[in-house]
Amino acid sequence: MNLYFHHTAIGRIGIVEDNGSITNLFFETDAVPQNVEMCETDLIKEAFRQLDAFLAGELKTFSLPLAPRGTEFMRAVWKILCGVPYGNTASYKEIAIAAGNSKAARAVGMANNKNPIPLFIPCHRIIGTDGKPVGYRGGLDVKRKLLELEKHHASV
């Protein structure tokens, strides 16, 4: 596993590559595993290039090999999250319904919380049923900034 940190428009971000796929993204406040090599691979460079373009409003869809680790339900939720279009939001309940269980909104929230690749898997687009941003590993300020950025650039 290789990890490299880069300063972005939303703070210092770390990206992990393992076996040719992006497996983790770390915000400044996240605990980072000790069993990784600090090395910027070509894939990590490309991931940061795409992330910087996304944060500048120039890229709306990532094209990276992703390999998030989680339960079958978590992976199903993350796949649904990737289908929420740029500039749009969905509620936890809407994602639960799309996952086949309208009563699983809390489980969807937990899957969001455990998303190892936020931004690339856009869990920031998931909001409360009242339309307000709730919970985000990178912090609510970052979530609001991402939602505002996407709303601004969605029609461009």
Catalytic residue among 77, 98, 123, 142: 123
Reply yes or no on whether 123 is catalytic.
yes
Q: CA 41, CA 153: separation in Å to the nearest integer?
A: 30
Spatial contact of 144 and 127, defined as CB atoms under 8 Å apart: no
Spatial contact of 122 and 84, defined as CB atoms under 8 Å apart: yes
- Side-chain half-sphere of 2: how many Cα atoms within 13 Å? 14
Q: CA 112, CA 115: separation in Å to the nearest integer?
A: 5
Catalytic positions, please? 123
